[in-house]
Amino acid sequence: MEGTGTVSPAAGSIRGVTLPDPPPAEPAPFRCFGTGDPLYEAYHDTEWGRPVHGDRELYERLSLEAFQSGLSWITVLRRRETFRTAFAGFDPEAVAGFDDEDVARLMADPGIIRNRLKVEAVIANARAVVALRASGGLSELVWSHAPAPRPAPLTPDDVPGSTPESAALAKALKAAGLRFVGPTTAYATMQACGLVDDHLAHCPARR
């Protein structure tokens, strides 16, 4: 409207005065993964690779990694809050008490990944985690397999899918009665929980 001092989108001017071009957009910060999805970005920036301790916390991570097997991690991440509700906050003692009715409830829940083998494995794993408390607990077992620090990976190709330490951890977890914990899943858990730091050398999130 004339005389109001408003900017004319077509002319890009105020009362005939040409406005300067807007400054160029700042480039997105580098990330090893997740750029473009706010949820994934936050996970990369604030969680992945940071040390995680505690039986409940590690049981949750192992459970989510088990559900992720064969899928993309963002698929699980987008359902994490629903998983937490469905599995009693991943309290091992609570999940250890789940029965056939709970399995049926979980298999009818569209908010989680409805794979019966994985659902039953997560329940069995809760019972194994409770039993592990007599010998130090899940957190102690997992962290006893933390490898010595190694040079930062320079490219994604430098990041292994599994290691001798993750194979040893998988073997120890299976011996304790846990399922869906092969060397690859064990290594993904080690990455997510800070036993290793696989952020690339030039990633700002690297510790």
Active site residues: 43, 65, 73
Q: Identify the burial level of 161 via C-beta atoms within 10 angstroms of its C-beta, where 0-12 means exposed, 13-18 middle and 19 or more buried.
A: exposed
DSSP 8-state symbol, 110: T
Q: Where are the alpha helices (DSSP H) in the chain?
A: 38-46, 55-68, 73-77, 80-86, 92-96, 100-107, 116-132, 138-143, 164-175, 183-192
d(CA 168, CA 115): 27
User: Tokens for 175?
Assistant: 């011996």
Contacts of 175 (CB under 8 A, 6+ apart): none
